[in-house]
Structure 1
Amino acid sequence: MNKIAIVTDSTSDIPKELVNRYNIRVIPLTITYKDKTYYDGVDLKIDDLLRMLDEGEELPKTSQVNPARFYEEYKRLFDEGYNKIISIHLSSNLSGTYQSAIIAKNMLETDDIYVVDSRTVSFGTGMLALKAAKMIEEGKDVEEIYNTLNILAPKSRVAYALDKLEYLKKGGRLSGTQAAIGTLLNIKPIIYITDGSHAILDKTRGMKKALSRMIKYVQDEGFDENELFAIGTVKDYENLEEFKEMVKNELGVDNYLLAEVGTVVATYSGPGVVGIWFYAK
């Protein structure tokens, strides 16, 4: 009988209790700030990161997982008695982490590692890892799980509204003038993932309109009620509470998972983010 392990990276933002329940191996990306390197979610928590963001103009820099780290983890899992590994990672358009996993697989010269490009970010990747975990519980074989994840990945939808523009300015995504004008006009950009990359879905005046626009995005796409649905935030619990009500009242969804967006995503967005993850029909 096959014993299947699940590996993902720290950008997947899976709640800790679910990581522990399903024994998911989470490999951290690294974040460098002022010549010191930290491991995402290990020795750098979200509050530490937000403090760094507020200290000055220099933004922390994120780095992909390198192949050697994946090689070590895969080898350890095989030594522990697993004979199949499913490794699920953030979009290959946004990071070299997926490619590092492929290189590590090739270094081990095995067909027993199945590497999945999630084509998305944050808990969009996490939802695929949890899908794999549930299918393992149901006794599905590795080929069926791998094929299911590759069917679901293009259906994954992620959108998040940003309350603050200063971090986009610090990261070079907005000029100082654009950020100043946008702040003055109370502009809230909504970012989404399309074709595995970030893009602007819309820009609204005020956070309430931004939340409404995300609801409309779900309605326009349609959502698969049989699959996981999630909402989350980077330290914006007031707007999250309002969004919960909108999700319940306007989408009829009251069974969803709450995700806490992690440090890698927050490096670019800062605090004041509300996001949504779902699968289109």
Structure 2
Amino acid sequence: MAYKIVVDSCCDLPEEYRKDEHFAVVPLTLVVDDDEIIDDETFDQLDFLRRVKESKNGAHSACPSPQRYIDEFENVTDTDIYVVTLSSKLSGSYNAAVLAGEMYKEDGGTNKVHVFDSRSAAAGEVLIAFMIERAVKEGLSFEEVVERIEKFRAGMGTYFVLETLEVLRKNGRLSNLKAALVSALNIKPIMAGDDGSIVKLGQSRGMDKALAHMIDYIKADTVDSANKTLVIAHCNAPARALKLKELIEKAMEIKEVVIVDTAGVSSLYAYDGGIVVSV
């Protein structure tokens, strides 16, 4: 059976996957002051980071319309379609995709469609997309793929460390006083996904120590790591991502480590120097 994997643009797919006919990316819109930036192949990360830094206001993202998903459902026939979106607790992208699936069926669409709430973002969405592709290539039926991926998602972990909390401060998610104290003390919170929400695991002074402690959490949480794929998404920090890959491979047995650069939505929230890991 033919297949198609539709992801929203918070899924930081490697370039070769973006060119693969089995994959399609539905873009979110990024808003900085009065400018709207479509998170598609035209996205310029460095220019975007500059805009966010210079803005006194909080940048934010807007989810795709259901029609953007429907367009992807309708341009293929006799195809199983799997959709992966941002956590429903962080964005309206999941609800838009679910509504699109319902509208598509009501209008007589014949392709099978399943929407996965990643309960994650960035590297987490990438990892789920990878797992879907592998399951399909193993010859599993549509229903078997859905069952496997739902189970996989339940056991997946997502962790991240940000270089700066300035974006969170501008968005009003962190008080000015707390942000100032964190910056002055060079404190880097270590955070993780928890059923689609964000929780703080701990904190360290300096990025190197924070990343080392993040590895400790990953190692403790990951079962059967020797058979797992781990994805590192970085925002404009390739050297940091490579160093982290080396440290992870020294700390634990892992089947494969994939490094990706963040696209628009992930660049907004991870911001310059941020690291996101999913396994």
Is this a same-fold pair by TM over 0.5?
A: yes
In structure 2, the CA distance between the partners of 1:162 and 1:55, relative to structure 1 (3 Å rule), is same
Aligned counterpart, 1:214: 214
In structure 2, the CA distance between the partners of 1:87 and 1:255, relative to structure 1 (3 Å rule), is closer
Please tell me whether the aligned partners of residues 171 and 268 of structure 1 are also in contact (alpha carbons under 8 angstroms): no
The 2-side partners of 1:207 and 1:73 are apart by 40
In structure 2, the CA distance between the partners of 1:49 and 1:3, relative to structure 1 (3 Å rule), is same
Please tell me whether the aligned partners of residues 228 and 254 of structure 2 are also in contact (alpha carbons under 8 angstroms): no
* In the alignment, structure 1 residue 18 sits paired with structure 2 residue 41: no
Identify the range of structure 1 (19-28 vs 189-198) with the bigger mean alpha-carbon deviation. Answer: 19-28
Residue of 78, 86, 89 corresponding to 1:82: 78
Aligned counterpart, 1:39: 38
The Cα of 1:64 is off from its aligned counterpart by 0.9
Residue aligned with 2:91, SS? coil
The 1-side partners of 2:222 and 2:130 are apart by 21
Amino acid at match of 1:70: Y
Once the two structures are superposed, residues 159-201 of structure 1 have per-residue CA deviations (whole angstroms, 9 ceiling, x without a partner) of 1111222222222222221111111111001221101111212
* In the alignment, structure 1 residue 59 sits paired with structure 2 residue 58: yes
The 2-side partners of 1:163 and 1:83 are apart by 42
The 2-side partners of 1:237 and 1:105 are apart by 37
Amino acid at match of 2:104: L
Please tell me whether the aligned partners of residues 86 and 114 of structure 1 are also in contact (alpha carbons under 8 angstroms): yes
Q: TM-score, normalised by structure 1?
A: 0.91
In structure 2, the CA distance between the partners of 1:34 and 1:43, relative to structure 1 (3 Å rule), is farther
Amino acid at match of 2:74: K
Aligned counterpart, 1:169: 169
Please tell me whether the aligned partners of residues 162 and 188 of structure 2 are also in contact (alpha carbons under 8 angstroms): yes
Please tell me whether the aligned partners of residues 11 and 265 of structure 1 are also in contact (alpha carbons under 8 angstroms): yes
Equivalences for residues 86-125 of structure 1 within 5 A? 86-109=82-105, 112-125=112-125
The 1-side partners of 2:42 and 2:17 are apart by 20
Aligned counterpart, 1:269: 270
The 2-side partners of 1:265 and 1:200 are apart by 18
Residue aligned with 1:256, SS? strand
In structure 2, the CA distance between the partners of 1:22 and 1:190, relative to structure 1 (3 Å rule), is farther
The 2-side partners of 1:220 and 1:22 are apart by 38
Amino acid at match of 2:215: I
* In the alignment, structure 1 residue 48 sits paired with structure 2 residue 47: yes
The 1-side partners of 2:278 and 2:249 are apart by 15
The Cα of 1:254 is off from its aligned counterpart by 7.2
In structure 2, the CA distance between the partners of 1:241 and 1:176, relative to structure 1 (3 Å rule), is same
Residue aligned with 1:201, SS? strand
Amino acid at match of 1:249: K
Please tell me whether the aligned partners of residues 4 and 23 of structure 2 are also in contact (alpha carbons under 8 angstroms): yes
Aligned counterpart, 1:71: 70
Once the two structures are superposed, residues 187-243 of structure 1 have per-residue CA deviations (whole angstroms, 9 ceiling, x without a partner) of 001221101111212111111210111111112102443232122311223433432
In structure 2, the CA distance between the partners of 1:232 and 1:115, relative to structure 1 (3 Å rule), is closer
Aligned counterpart, 1:153: 153
The Cα of 1:22 is off from its aligned counterpart by 6.0
Q: Percent identity?
A: 29
The 1-side partners of 2:81 and 2:90 are apart by 23
The 2-side partners of 1:244 and 1:254 are apart by 12
Please tell me whether the aligned partners of residues 119 and 195 of structure 1 are also in contact (alpha carbons under 8 angstroms): yes
Residue aligned with 2:260, SS? strand
The Cα of 1:86 is off from its aligned counterpart by 1.2
Residue aligned with 1:272, SS? coil
Please tell me whether the aligned partners of residues 159 and 276 of structure 2 are also in contact (alpha carbons under 8 angstroms): yes
Once the two structures are superposed, residues 69-112 of structure 1 have per-residue CA deviations (whole angstroms, 9 ceiling, x without a partner) of 111221112xxx33321112111111111111111111122572
Please tell me whether the aligned partners of residues 120 and 156 of structure 1 are also in contact (alpha carbons under 8 angstroms): no
Residue aligned with 1:131, SS? helix
Please tell me whether the aligned partners of residues 9 and 89 of structure 1 are also in contact (alpha carbons under 8 angstroms): yes
- Cα RMSD of the aligned pairs, angstroms, is 1.8
The 1-side partners of 2:69 and 2:255 are apart by 37
Unaligned runs of 5+ in 1: none
Q: TM-score, normalised by structure 2?
A: 0.91
Residue aligned with 1:11, SS? coil
In structure 2, the CA distance between the partners of 1:38 and 1:54, relative to structure 1 (3 Å rule), is same
The 2-side partners of 1:237 and 1:70 are apart by 32
Please tell me whether the aligned partners of residues 190 and 202 of structure 2 are also in contact (alpha carbons under 8 angstroms): yes
In structure 2, the CA distance between the partners of 1:22 and 1:219, relative to structure 1 (3 Å rule), is farther
Residue aligned with 2:256, SS? coil
